[in-house]
Amino acid sequence: MRRILVCVVFVLVCCVVHAQHTGQYKIGGKIEGMDSGRVVMKQKTMEGYKELGSSGIQKGRFEFKGEISEIQSVQLFFDDQRGSLTLFLEPGKIQIAVKKDSVYYGKVTGTPTNELWGYFNEEERRLEKVEMECAQAYQNSFQTKDREKVRTATKAFTDATKARKIFRADFLGNSDHKYAAACFYCASLMQKMQYAELDSLVRSYTGMENNNDVRLITQRRDLMRKVAVGVNVPEINLPDVEGKSFALSSLKGKWVLLDFWASWCAPCRREGKHVLELYKKYQQSGFEVLGVSIDQNPDAWKQAIQEDQTPWKHVLDQRSEVAKTFGVSSVPRVFLIDPKGVIVAVNLYGEELEQCLEEIFSK
């Protein structure tokens, strides 16, 4: 009898949870400063955005209606306005208040996940503002040459940075925030995460496989598995500065730093100066660098190579096809490859790269 009662309770709980995620939604929106036009609802995919529907704007107002079986994040795009507004489709009445020229900061209320998402973003922006103010005060304190002011400003900046990290970690780690957290990971964090981190994250979303954000995180995890530490590096065949095809495999037998960069990327070129010092130091010991540029302008690419005087092999990934294979969505990004062609480290820069190479070549 007790077992039957437990089963009944379990079924009822599951039905209640499912009911919270399934049903009709109605979006009523108002955009200030835009009497007419069109709003398009889209959802992110690995290839770009997929259109889900649109609504006309009449006297500044618009609406959407529909039914969902799983809470989903979507974006609203307003004609020629820059940026988009993120919201969650979930059962209930959703209200949107947005202003022309600042749609990203629109307010979405009326349902639990949208209220939660609004709170998270407002608190993130508040803490970021405090952190930036403390950073400015920290910089200004050095001009006073007052040690006590420097010490106080340093502590304030450290505390502000810590507070923001704690808030974010607590919010994302709360099991009641999973839909909002998945959206944030998908939009802001997953591109910076390595395979092991992504795999752990995907496992934490068991039961949410139909959620689009979780699906995108899973696809990203599967892509990064192919370029994770410990796997054989995929082959690269790209044109060099003379237009001749160059293969990464031709460097097998050496330690190779695979460097994805671009002429317009200031951090890439700053790091390139440091890599140049290491190249001169360890080249004779078997260290090579292969620069893979994602420039669309070949002339800008060649000019940057000439200006920076980087003597290693350079190839051009003009359509970013190789970059996509390696999960590179932003630069700089580097992979350290051993003489057997196995990836041994990802994103080593500055002192970390220097220490790693010193350990390798001091043996």
Looking at residue 12, what is its pLDDT? Answer: 39
* 246 & 350 share domain: yes
Rounded-to-integer distance, Cα 72 and Cα 79, Å: 22
* 32 & 54 share domain: yes
* 241 & 307 share domain: yes
In a domain, 324, yes or no: yes
CATH number of the CATH domain containing 26: 2.60.40
In a domain, 92, yes or no: yes
**In this predicted model, what pLDDT tens digit does every residue of 198-212 receive, in sequence order?**
999 999 999 999 999
Looking at residue 21, what is its pLDDT? Answer: 64
CATH number of the CATH domain containing 328: 3.40.30.10
* 245 & 356 share domain: yes
Q: Considering only 58-62, 141-145, 292-296, 317-321, which range has the smallest mean pLDDT? A: 141-145
Looking at residue 15, what is its pLDDT? Answer: 39
* 79 & 156 share domain: no
Does the pLDDT value for residue 330 go beyond 50?
yes
Looking at residue 287, what is its pLDDT? Answer: 98
In a domain, 8, yes or no: no
Backbone angle region of 170, left / alpha / beta, with phi > 0 → left and psi within -120 to 50 → alpha: alpha
Kind of pairing between the strands at 287-293 and 61-68: unpaired
Looking at residue 18, what is its pLDDT? Answer: 40
E-assigned strand segments in the chain:
23-32, 36-45, 48-58, 61-68, 72-78, 85-89, 92-99, 107-109, 237-239, 245-247, 255-261, 287-293, 313-316, 333-337, 343-346
* 189 & 251 share domain: no
In a domain, 9, yes or no: no
Does the pLDDT value for residue 267 go beyond 70?
yes
Looking at residue 263, what is its pLDDT? Answer: 97
* 353 & 254 share domain: yes
In a domain, 37, yes or no: yes
* 221 & 266 share domain: no
In a domain, 28, yes or no: yes
Looking at residue 116, what is its pLDDT? Answer: 97
Mean pLDDT of the chain: 92
**In this predicted model, what pLDDT tens digit does every residue of 220-231 receive, in sequence order?**
999 999 999 999
- 137 DSSP β-pair partners: none
In a domain, 6, yes or no: no
Band the pLDDT of 10: cuts 50, 70, 90: very low
Does the pLDDT value for residue 5 go beyond 60?
no
* Final residue belonging to a domain, choices 203, 225, 247: 225
Looking at residue 47, what is its pLDDT? Answer: 86
Rounded-to-integer distance, Cα 309 and Cα 19, Å: 63
Could you tell me which residues come within 8 angstroms of residue 193 by beta carbon, excluding any fewer than 6 positions away?
Answer: 201, 220, 224
* 97 & 135 share domain: no
Total count of domains within the chain? 3
Does the pLDDT value for residue 1 go beyond 50?
no
Domain that holds residue 216: 114-225
Band the pLDDT of 106: cuts 50, 70, 90: very high
Looking at residue 32, what is its pLDDT? Answer: 96
Does the pLDDT value for residue 252 go beyond 80?
yes
Instruction: Please compute the mean of the pLDDT values over residues 88-106 and round it to a whole number.
Output: 96
* 241 & 346 share domain: yes
Instruction: Please compute the mean of the pLDDT values over residues 104-125 and round it to a whole number.
Output: 97
* 104 & 119 share domain: no
Q: Considering only 11-20, 46-55, 272-281, 345-354, which range has the smallest mean pLDDT? A: 11-20
In a domain, 15, yes or no: no
* Final residue belonging to a domain, choices 56, 88, 109: 109
3-class secondary structure, 42: strand
* 293 & 177 share domain: no
Does the pLDDT value for residue 191 go beyond 50?
yes
**In this predicted model, what pLDDT tens digit does every residue of 156-181 receive, in sequence order?**
999 999 999 999 999 999 999 999 99
* Final residue belonging to a domain, choices 64, 84, 109: 109
